[in-house]
A and B are shown apart, each in its own frame.
Chain A
């Protein structure tokens, strides 16, 4: 466990010693802030119009602002993840520092978990930028807290899967650009899988739809906590980290 934290701290240090962490946080903050501003402005305008016309239809901050924005954040995450994970192993392979890690008395699994945890923490820092926006809603309004927490759990789990997949792809190459590009492609594919099944309900369609990362996020976005989705995400994380470990092992044999 100590070794995992040691590697994790080292990864965080690398992220925050380079501009990458700050750039990602700034871009995410900017894009999400823009989305938040638009959503909040429209909400205010519509609720104003509604009260002018005497309609007493209730408008919910949770439904109108938070839910679409959380879905938006999960989409932006697809673009962020490749930039977080591309260097994880590829850079160590290129500079030769992987030799230090692999010849130290530490298990492969500890290296992988440490690196994944480091990437997760950076991802959390980036997500934190969106929480700043939501905090304003809580300051001046009374939205329901529980669905927001569930949505964040969903974002974290979805990020965990994509980061683990990215970590695996990073072990397969020395070239960060290739690692990032392939990870982006795979993230996009996992996202697009849900399109395939939009108007279809055969056996293939339900399998493909189950594999899509987005379909499992929808429930979280609505604030619904379903054990089926949690099991999916957690098992995907385990699977991706497992093939990362296999890939690390094969590094030794192929080297």
Chain B
């Protein structure tokens, strides 16, 4: 349905997208993942014919974005990062305008509006001015705008930003109900989003394609390594955090050590192993030998967030805030974006 070959987009001074190629099958939901400024929005803008590519080809629903932009645009629904709304219009008036803009005949338009109003749950604001709506409602009106002409391909740039957790779940369900008939690309920097609603993930960083795979495969890819949470307490007095950290890093097979917490002389760490190494026994021995007491030692699974950080940061980096709180959507640590 979507085929991108060697896509490069260069702005005056910066290279926004660097030679990206991927394909998306009909009916799939694909998550487009990357840190801020990775080139997600640029790639989507090329697919929607908003920007022409510098080099490379993009083909949507069988039409080239450069040669047949009108045909591509007919088959695409697009929700940009900020929903493109006219504050002086009422919701139904706006949807009528967009519907006609997308080429829906005036006989069908009322029926289509009723359908998308129901699907996006904006029935209670039908006759309100868009300028008076809350952010969550605006986002949903934006989504209604994108699906009003029942497009083959749906391109959503951060569709859940600004929504509360309940609304996020509703949007996810909506997206899942749309998949099958529609091919959906959604960009996000929220990882739990992808884990919940996408079948495949495309990870890009600094304009380059880092990984493209199913969610399950990506998790498997890094299953060989192991992550361990451990808590150390000194038998006599406070242990020095840096001393403990250094000691842990010296254990063979350890790839990185992250300090999580320090309270009343208890230090919590998260340790990751290199590929295919088991480090728990070694860690325990090392801690005990140093004369500290080991309060806790347990294996934790690598989440998509860890994979993401590993893939998007080229050197061994020390992330400091990596809560495993999946219910709470969050951005990847800023350290992950920098080299």
Contact = CB atoms under 8 A, between A and B. Distances in A.
A17 B145 CA distance: 21
A56 B12 CA distance: 74
Contacts of B76: 103
Contact of B49 (A13, A100, A103, A253): A103
Contacts of A254: 12
Interface in B45-103: 45, 48-52, 70-71, 73-74, 76, 78, 80-82, 84-89, 93, 97-98, 100-103
Chain B interface category by residue count: 20 to 34
B74 A105 contact: yes
Nearest to A106: B101
Contacts of A98: 84
A234 interface: no
A10 to B, nearest CB: 6
Given A10-B97, A105-B70, A99 B80 contact: yes
A246 to B, nearest CB: 15
Interface string A1-13: 0110010001001
A96 B88 contact: no
Contact of B78 (A95, A99, A253): A99
Interface string A28-69: 000000000000000000000000000000000000000000
Interface in A67-118: 95-107
A94 B84 CA distance: 10
Contacts of A101: 101
Given A96-B80, A253-B52, A104 B73 contact: yes
A65 to B, nearest CB: 39
B89 A13 contact: yes
Contacts of B52: 252-253
Contacts of B45: 99, 255
A253 B49 CA distance: 11
B97 A6 contact: yes
Nearest to A3: B101
Contact of B102 (A13, A95, A99, A104): A104
Contact of B86 (A14, A102, A105, A107): A14
B244 to A, nearest CB: 50
B100 A105 contact: no
Interface string A129-151: 00000000000000000000000
A106 B71 CA distance: 10
A227 interface: no
A96 B101 contact: no
A92 to B, nearest CB: 9
Contact of B98 (A2, A96, A100, A252): A100
Contacts of A100: 78, 80, 84, 98, 101, 145
A201 interface: no
A11 B330 CA distance: 40
Contact of B88 (A18, A103, A105): A18
A102 B70 contact: no
Contacts of A6: 97, 100-101
Interface in B111-125: none
Nearest to A10: B97
Given A99-B50, A99-B78, A13 B88 contact: yes
Most chain B CB within a 10 A radius of its CB, from A17, A103, A104, A253: A103
Contact of A255 (B50, B80, B87, B102): B50
A246 B71 CA distance: 22
Residue of B12, B84, B100 ringed by the most chain A CB atoms within 10 A: B84
Contacts of A18: 88
A14 B88 contact: yes
Contacts of B98: 100, 104
Contacts of A107: 70
A254 B52 CA distance: 10
Contacts of B100: 2, 6
A100 B71 CA distance: 16
Chain A CB within 10 Å — which of B73, B76, B101 has the most? Answer: B101
Contacts of B82: 95-96
Contact of A96 (B70, B84, B93, B103): B84
Given A104-B101, A105-B102, A255-B50, A97 B88 contact: no
A103 B97 contact: no
B70 A103 contact: no
A249 to B, nearest CB: 10
Given A10-B97, A96-B80, A103 B48 contact: yes
Nearest to B106: A2
A83 B262 CA distance: 62
Given A6-B101, A100-B98, A103-B76, 20 more contacts: A2-B100, A3-B101, A6-B97, A10-B86, A10-B97, A14-B86, A14-B88, A17-B88, A18-B88, A95-B85, A97-B86, A99-B45, A102-B49, A104-B98, A104-B102, A105-B70, A105-B74, A106-B101, A107-B70, A252-B51
Interface of A: 2-3, 6, 10, 13-14, 17-18, 95-107, 252-255
7 closest cross-chain pairs (CB), A and B: A100-B84, A17-B88, A97-B84, A105-B73, A105-B74, A103-B48, A104-B101
11 contacts: A96-B80, A96-B81, A97-B84, A99-B84, A102-B49, A103-B49, A103-B73, A252-B52, A253-B52, A255-B45, A255-B50
